[in-house]
Amino acid sequence: MKKQISIIGVPMDLGQTRRGVDMGPSAIRYAGIVERLQKLNYEIQDLGDIEIGRPLLEKIESKSDNNLKNLKEVAEASEKLSAAVSNVVDEGSFPLVFGGDHSIAIGTLAGLSKHYNNLGVIWYDAHGDLNTSNTSPSGNIHGMPLAVSLGIGHSRLTEIEGYTPKVKPENIVIVGARSLDEGEKELIREKGIKVYTMHEIDRLGMTKVMEEAIAYISKNTDGVHLSLDLDGLDPHDAPGVGTPVLGGISYRESHLAMEMLAEADILTSAEFVEVNPILDEKNKTATVAVALMGSLFGEKLK
């Protein structure tokens, strides 16, 4: 990985309805991420936080005619983030994005994919985030960023940077899925998206899953982005998330996955999302996120 890392915070909480996840970037910084990466001899540039527009209070949880909550604000934030991420890539630095809810991946992937012909994405998450306005039971955009990046969804989101799609289905691997809506399952089958559910992780073991995922994602891509939702981990290890799902990936398995990605040296960008300090226990989830980033960026015991 590049030795210069540029941190971008995205205090976004409008992609879902549980307040508090906008404090995620601050919680991750408070947990000592800058110091941890500096100890690994990285040059860190913290670019601060993207400014997030706020809708009128009475409209924060209302749906538009398109069954999408806070569409305008999410789209505007995605455009800002896309520009910031693209600038980091132009400068030759490694973009490291802190969320915020997972809707921020719309902007991250938009800013990245213009620099690659075949951007690969490892989606480490309990959810597929492949819903659309037609399939989403909630209208929460944080359940839609992967679909949007495939060019499926509202044009205000899919057309950021003026082109679509941002990612091809054959260049995606989902790891840790255990909560998929029916519409998402259908889309996975239709597009042939590679998914390792908790069944595969339990049956094959994390070592085999990551070996296969790394081989698959490395085959035809010229860059690889890791989008890690802390709810991919079991709530016992990462309680401070908005949509916890029991039976998740363990803390140790997640470290192994990050260590294997570090050894493979394929990542060109990363984001860690859905840290919600209000729902957390003494900043435990942000501390877990920082520890996983340590492993991702090459931290070793010996």
Residue 102 among the catalytic residues: yes
Residue 229 annotated to the active site: yes
**pLDDT per position as a tens digit, 221-273:** 999 999 999 999 999 999 999 999 999 999 999 999 999 999 999 999 999 99
The model's pLDDT over 17-73, given as tens digits with 9 standing for 90+, comes to: 889 999 999 999 999 999 999 999 999 999 999 999 877 655 555 555 578 999 999
Binding site annotation covers 13? no
Torsion of CA 271, 165, 153, 175, to 10 degrees: -40
Domain ranges within the chain, ordered by starting residue: 4-296
90 is in an annotated binding site: no
Annotated catalytic residue, options 76, 127, 259, 271: 127
Q: Is 127 a catalytic residue?
A: yes
Choice among 101, 231, 280, 299 that is catalytic: 231
Average confidence score pLDDT of the chain: 95
**Of the candidates 98, 94, 66, which has an alpha carbon nearest to the alpha carbon of residue 81?**
98
CB-based burial of residue 169 (10 Å sphere; 0-12 exposed, 13-18 middle, 19+ buried)? middle
Check the annotation: does 229 bind a ligand. yes
CATH number for the region 4-296 comes to 3.40.800.10
Burial class (CB in 10 A: 0-12, 13-18, 19+), 94: buried
Active site residue 199: no
**Which residue(s) pair with 196 in the sheet?**
175
Catalytic choice (234, 253, 274, 299): 274
**154 labelled binding-site residue:** no
Predicted TM-score (pTM) of this structure: 0.96
* Catalytic residue check, 274: yes
Give dist(CA 128, CA 178) in Å, integer: 9
Alpha helices by DSSP H, 31-67: 33-39
Tell which wins on pLDDT, 171 or 2.
171
DSSP character for 10? E
Three state DSSP letters for 117-171: CCEEEEEECCECCCCCCCCCCCCCHHHCHHHHHCCCCCHHHHCHHHCCCCCCHHH
3-class DSSP string for 242-275 = CCCCCCCECHHHHHHHHHHHHHHCCEEEEEEECC
101 catalytic? Reply is: no
